[in-house]
Structure 1
Amino acid sequence: MSSTCENPDNMSWAAFLLTLLCLPTITQTCLNCDLEVKTILNNLKETYLYAHIQEHAVAEKLVNYVKAAESCFFHASLKFSGQGFIDESTLIKAAHDFKRELKRMIDTHLEGIALINTLIKLMKAQCLLLETHIKVYVQQGFCPNTCGTMLQEAISCQTCEKVDYICPQKQVCEDRRIQIGINEDLKLDCGFSWHALAKHLQEYQFFKLTQNGSAWTETLISKSKEPTLVIHRIKESDSGHYMCLLKDHQQNIISKFSYNVEVTRGVANEETIWTRLTLPPVEMHAVSRHSEKHRNIEQHITHLIILTIVGSGGGITAFILASCFMIHRRKKEAMADKEDEEDNEEEP
């Protein structure tokens, strides 16, 4: 609404009529893209105000005010984005608030000056609320890409048509230098959160770059819907330059990552180390005559095996194998003890 107009909250009837004359009009607004809002506003302008305002001339001026207020809804979209676009989610929220307040006013069946004051305050408040909704959209959802070229679906406030809005930025997103130890797993990630909002995305392509004089050769490594590439147990020969491209359905480049990978021997990879103990032979009769002593020794050795394997990276599988070995030994000892007892009973 025009800044040259007075605040309609506190003015005389004559001043209000003059205020209506200075307000501009516009034919299309963002909120009119909601068909129910458009229907309610048309009913308000064509029949409702004339039925509830006795003076026809006053009712006509109030209709002009509503039209002028609608222009505020359009300019609210221009204030922050500068483009006159809105997304579907923001439109639904703003339209819901506006329809609720309009229906509440209509259901009260106000007349005369009470209707005029209520309508003026309502339109002003809804214009400010729409500005808030669009400000949040522009700050958080409108062209969120910091690099690359993004196609984003948006609604034109002028035509109410959905369009693919182009959000251009610098094409190269990042040039990363990665230093990694030999035998480690190299992970190249070229994903951005805004990729989930972009339209017509096709695939991520990863390349190894080889320099031949002043020219570079691109060798395709992988095509995937996923934004990451993992090279397991990297070798020194894997050092060099890599590139990741995100392309759309027409093979246009959406975003680009470059990597300079240096594989060094200075960073050692953790490897699984298996420790195998060699035990001296044990005669069965010695075990039977000194079962308690040797049982304690073998249990100690078994525990040592378990701790050695687990501590060196053997993991759960090694722990289970060692536990089975201990159970087997205990069963064998029990059988030997039972045989000793039977031999002792047979002796005179």
Structure 2
Amino acid sequence: MGLCFVLLLAALACCLIPASCCVTCEPSVMEAVKSLEKDYLPGHLEAKDHEKVMDMVYNILKGFQDRPFIEGSYAGIIDKNSLEEVSRTLLKELKRITDSNVKGEDFIRELNHTLIKEKDDFNLQALHFQKEALCPNKCGIMFQTLIWCQHCEQKVHACRKPINCGEQHVEVHQSEELNLDCLLTWHHISEGLTDYKFYRVWENNSETLLYKGKESTLTKPRVSEADEGKYRCELDTVMSGPSTIISYHVTVLPPKIRHEKHKEKLEDTEGSPLDVNSERPTESTAASAHLEPITSLQRSQAQSMLQGCLFALLISFFILLVAALLLR
């Protein structure tokens, strides 16, 4: 079991990071390796193998740190956040194994499986960092803190691209608000950046400073024709020279024509019950339709009463006429 354990601890030392063993740059990882030697091995490995195993571990760690670094390539470089994340995960998994108190061959298999998984996960993370997060600026000068795994050196790396980030064409109507945005996605993660400065650029190429500060947007309310023209934004750095330059060409359009009366009339026409619901009677129409049968009945009854009265009058007149003739 001694040979198997040596090979397994070699995996701990060199499989996690293929270029250089960056985890050894984290003091907490080295403390965990020492704790493994002093606190865990005595109860889980024969004493005669302890010194030989740990000598092999440290020699392999040192050997990987001494591997040559190829200038111009990014192998063996990582950012602090990624290194801290992979180190936390490794320490968590080592603690899980030691807390389980597993021994012998079971301990070797569990540790080997864990290290292989951590290696694969870190390889994916390191690849993603080198493709996506390493110098993500498409223009400008970005300052990024990186760790050179070969000597555990942490220093600021300048990602240098052309500082001119192009010209933006902005159109705004008179009396509206003008907004010039100078923020790029990598500004938040870059180090060494200071203040944004906005200038008005005149036709004779002279400039007027309009704003200097931490805000990345210049806002001007109620613009007029006089605000049309060229502007420029610079993002300063702690070093000499700007990090980013963005130019703007502002065109002021005539004020928007608002047809409020026409719009109101159109809304009334579209919202009219007679237009939208022409086949559906309104409440007033329905009420009239409901009252119409009652009014006809009343009219019929009135006509009947009138006819009855006229008939009674005719009868009375006939009786009076007959009575008069008899009295003669």
TM band (smaller chain)? 0.5 to 0.7
Tell which has more relative contact order, 1 or 2 (C-alpha 8 A, sep 6+).
2
The answer as to whether partners of 1:180 and 1:262 remain within 8 angstroms in 2 is: yes
Q: For 2:23 and 2:101, how far apart are their aligned partners in 1? A: 24
Partner of residue 184, structure 2: 192
Given the alignment, which residue of 223, 230, 243 partners 2:212?
A: 223
- Residue 198 of structure 1 aligns with an amino acid whose one-letter code is S
1:209 maps to which residue?
201
1: distance between equivalents of 2:181 and 2:106? 62
Please state how far the C-alpha of 1:110 moved relative to its aligned partner: 4.1
Give the Cα–Cα distance (whole angstroms) in 1 for the partners of residues 62 and 96 of structure 2.
19
Identify the residue that residue 78 of structure 2 maps to in structure 1: 85
Map Cα deviations across residues 241-297 of structure 1 (whole Å, 9 max, x no partner): 2111011234531111111222233xx2468x9x9xxxxxxxxxxxxxxxxxxxxxx
CA contact (8 A) 1:178 1:261 kept: yes
Counterpart-to-counterpart distance in 1, 2:120 and 2:59: 16
What TM-score, normalized to structure 2? 0.61
* Aligned counterparts, 1:112-131, within 5 A: 112-131=104-123
1:173 counterpart = 2:162: no
Question: Any idea what SS the aligned residue of 1:41 has?
Answer: helix
TM-aligned CA deviation for residue 205 of structure 1: 0.8
The separation in 1 between residues aligned to 2:175 and 2:31, in whole angstroms, is 68
Match of 1:148 in 2: 140
Pick one of 28, 31, 42 that aligns with 1:39.
31
Deviation at 1:156, TM superposition (A): 3.7
> What is the CA-CA distance between 1:122 and the residue it aligns to?
2.5
Gapped regions of structure 2 (runs ≥ 5):
265-328
Secondary structure at 2:136 match in 1? coil
Please say if residues 76 and 149 of structure 2, whose CA atoms lie closer than 8 Å, have aligned partners that are also in contact.
no
The aligned counterpart of 1:282 is none
- Indicate the residue corresponding to 1:235 in structure 2: 224
* Partner residue of 1:106 out of 87, 95, 98: 98
Q: Sequence identity of aligned pairs in percent?
A: 26
What is the match of residue 263 of structure 1? 252
Contact 1:202 1:247 in 2 (8 A): yes
Check the 8 A contact 1:73/1:127 in 2, yes or no: no
Q: CA deviation at 1:32?
A: 2.3
Shift of 1:240: 2.1
Greater CA drift, 65-74 or 153-162: 65-74
Are the equivalent residues in 1 in contact too, given 2:41–2:50 (CA < 8 A)? no
Q: TM-score, normalised by structure 1?
A: 0.58
Deviation of 1:44 (Å): 3.3
Say if 1:30 and 1:86, in contact at 8 Å, map to a contact too.
Answer: no
| Amino acid in structure 2 at the alignment position of 1:86 | D
> Structure 1 counterpart of 2:166, which letter?
E
1:94-128 residue CA offsets vs partner (Å, 9 max, x unmatched): 22221122123233444443333333222222222
Q: Structure 1 residues 203 and 24, CA, compared in 2 at 3 Å: closer, same or farther? A: closer
Change (3 A) 1:73 1:122: farther
Letter in 1 for 2:235: L
AA at the equivalent of 1:219: T
The answer as to whether partners of 1:183 and 1:269 remain within 8 angstroms in 2 is no
Residue type of the alignment partner of 2:236: K
What SS is found at the alignment partner of 1:173?
A: strand
Residues 1:71 and 1:188: Cα distance change in structure 2 (over 3 Å): farther
**CA offsets per residue over residues 146-179 of structure 1, 9 Å max, x none?**
2211112334434445422222223122311223
SS of equivalent residue, structure 2 residue 116: helix
* 107-116 vs 147-156, which moves further: 107-116
Question: In 2, Cα distance between the equivalents of 1:18 and 1:256?
Answer: 55
